[in-house]
């Protein structure tokens, strides 16, 4: 009888690998290359050996080496992946495990690579859409601070007393003095706010519920957030179904991938309903978290079959819809940002030039 001995990573090895995590592209490439070699009728062991020969990234080489060591000990590929929870997700492990049983590993590996690429592209577009207004705000605030600290006091010094200054200039002067005296407090607040927000969001459930509801109900952003969650739901459930994973197990793995409280709780409800022999349609119908179109399509599937491919098509539709909504959001943000900056600049210009105009008028008299 062959003794199966799993090759465990030491805590030090895990720490080193997490510090020098391979880039995202390496993970996508691993799944893609494994799918290609599997289609070429190579075994997992031979595939990993071939990948190892051409891999130059130290951490990625270490991961492939450990995968290979485990497989040489007659450990399955999915079980070997579990040694790297910081690199392979539970969902990826579950998909591979099911594919090993069903015999459709190449298709599942390709599907994982496709989904990783699509998700990364979406995240980059969302971050890009959010980065623009944030950067504009930062530069606008820096410009305002410089004007308040340097320009306003210079103008004020030209007048013998503050009583001769317009009220808007007096306000700006007061604001300038406040920034000079309490700049350290403003910096501290800027640092602490995101930290406190993260702590509250992750540790205080009522706060998380309020924030998550706002993220789903807010105009424009709420629709974008909802569409993104529908994309994740459709794509992941479709991938699990195509890999042969049972719906209950699939939903169980999906729960932890959703950050939004309401979607996580709804998935738990769906899992419970499936366990008591209710259908997806019966569990999802009437929920404000799912679009009627998606519920209708799932209802048709439960009568006709071919669920996986239909869900993948719906996921592609939602991905395109997200891109359209992002473009609309950018078109909405740009004029709002310009108007905001125009108000700030106009206020500062008025604070600077109104006393200058009074001074010129007094000189002319």
Q: Domain ranges in the chain?
A: 11-88, 103-365
Confidence of residue 135 (pLDDT cuts 50, 70, 90): confident
> Cα–Cα distances in Å, from 29 out to 33, 51, 259?
6, 10, 27
Average pLDDT, the chain: 82
- pLDDT score for 114: 85
pLDDT of residue 5 exceeding 60: no
Distance of CA 272 to the CA centre of its chain: 28
First to last CA, the chain: 110
What confidence category does residue 358 fall into, taking pLDDT thresholds of 50, 70 and 90? Answer: low
At 296-321, the pLDDT tens digits run 888 887 777 677 888 888 988 998 89
- Spell out the alpha helix ranges (H) of 256-306: 261-275, 280-284, 292-304
Residue 172: predicted pLDDT: 78
Whether the Cβ atoms of residue 356 and residue 155 lie closer than 8 Å to each other? yes
In order of 145, 222, 343, the CA distances from 178 in angstroms are: 11, 37, 21
The confidence score (pLDDT) of residue 206 equals 93
HSE, side-chain direction, 13 A CA sphere, residue 352: 16
Average pLDDT over residues 342-362: 73
pLDDT at 365: 54
The dihedral sign for the CA sequence 237, 238, 243, 247:
positive
pLDDT tens digits, one per residue of 51-70: 888 888 888 888 888 888 88
pLDDT in the model for residue 196: 94
**Confidence check: pLDDT of 363 > 70:** no
pLDDT confidence tier of residue 2, bands split at 50, 70 and 90: very low
- CA-CA-CA-CA torsion sign (121, 127, 133, 135): negative
Whether residue 3 is predicted with pLDDT greater than 50 in this model: the reply is no
Instruction: Tell me: pLDDT of 158 over 90.
Output: no
Cβ–Cβ under 8 Å, residues 293 and 287: no
Helix ranges (DSSP H) in 151-220? 152-156, 167-203, 205-217
Of residues 307 and 32, more confidently modeled: 32
Q: How many CB atoms lie within 10 A of CB 99?
A: 24
Which residue did the predictor score with more confidence, 132 or 36? 36
Query: What pLDDT does residue 171 have?
Result: 80
Main-chain dihedrals φ then ψ at residue 331, nearest 5 degrees: -65, -30
Total residue length of the chain: 365
In tens, the pLDDT along 166-196 reads 777 778 778 888 888 888 898 899 899 999 9
Nearest by Cα to 319 from 230, 239, 237: 230
Q: What is the dihedral of CA 49, 50, 52, 57, to 10 degrees?
A: -160
pLDDT for 103? 77
- State the pLDDT at residue 174: 82
* Contacts (Cβ under 8 Å, ≥6 apart) of 304: none
What pLDDT is recorded for position 44? 84
Per-residue pLDDT reduced to its tens digit, 263-306:
999 999 999 999 998 888 889 988 999 998 888 888 887 777 67
Q: What is the pLDDT of residue 123?
A: 78
Least confident of 1-5, 13-17, 42-46: 1-5
**CA-based Rg of the chain, rounded to a whole angstrom?**
29
Most confident of 126-135, 199-208, 326-335: 199-208
Question: Which of 63-77, 97-111, 254-268 has the lowest average pLDDT?
Answer: 97-111
Contact at 8 Å (CB) between 125 and 145? no
- Looking at the predicted structure, is the pLDDT value of residue 260 above 70? yes
Quick: pLDDT tens for 220-244.
888 889 998 999 899 888 888 888 8
The tokens 């009728």 sit on which residue? 41
Q: How far apart are CA 146 and CA 176, in angstroms?
A: 9
pLDDT at 333: 79
pLDDT the model gives residue 213: 94
Beta carbons within 10 angstroms of residue 46's beta carbon: 13
């Amino acid at each position: 009888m062959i003794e199966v001995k799993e090759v465990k990573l030491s805590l030090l090895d895990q720490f080193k690998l997490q510090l020098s995590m391979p880039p995202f592209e390496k993970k996508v490439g691993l799944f893609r290359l494994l799918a290609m070699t599997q289609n070429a009728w190579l075994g997992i062991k031979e595939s990993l050996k071939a990948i190892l020969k051409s891999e130059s990234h130290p951490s990625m080489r270490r991961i492939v080496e450990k995968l290979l060591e485990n497989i040489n000990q007659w450990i399955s590929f999915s079980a070997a992946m579990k040694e790297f929870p910081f690199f392979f997700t539970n969902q990826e492990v579950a998909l591979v495990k099911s594919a090993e049983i069903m015999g459709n590993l190449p298709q599942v590996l390709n599907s994982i690579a496709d989904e990783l690429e699509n998700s990364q592209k979406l995240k980059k577009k969302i971050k890009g859409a959010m980065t623009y207004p944030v950067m504009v705000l930062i530069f606008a605030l820096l410009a305002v601070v410089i004007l308040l600290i340097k320009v306003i006091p210079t103008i004020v010094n030209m007048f013998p007393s503050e009583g001769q200054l317009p009220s808007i200039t007096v306000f700006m002067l007061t604001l300038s003095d406040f920034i000079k005296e309490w700049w350290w407090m403003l910096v501290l607040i800027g640092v602490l706010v995101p930290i406190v927000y993260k702590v509250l969001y992750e540790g205080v459930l009522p706060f998380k519920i309020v924030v998550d509801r706002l993220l789903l109900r807010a105009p424009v952003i709420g629709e974008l957030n909802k569409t993104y969650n529908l994309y994740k739901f459709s794509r992941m459930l479709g991938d699990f179904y195509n890999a042969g994973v049972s719906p209950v197990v699939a939903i169980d793995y999906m729960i932890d991938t959703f950050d939004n409280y309401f979607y996580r709780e709804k998935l738990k409800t769906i899992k419970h309903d499936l366990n008591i022999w209710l259908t997806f349609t019966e569990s999802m119908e009437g929920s404000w978290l799912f679009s009627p179109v998606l519920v209708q399509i799932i209802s048709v599937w439960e009568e006709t079959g071919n669920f996986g491919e239909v869900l993948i098509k719906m996921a592609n539709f939602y991905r395109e819809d997200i891109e359209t909504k992002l473009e609309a959001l950018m078109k909405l943000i740009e004029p709002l940002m310009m108007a905001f900056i125009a108000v700030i600049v106009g206020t500062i210009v008025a604070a600077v030039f109104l006393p200058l105009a009074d001074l010129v008028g007094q000189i002319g008299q």
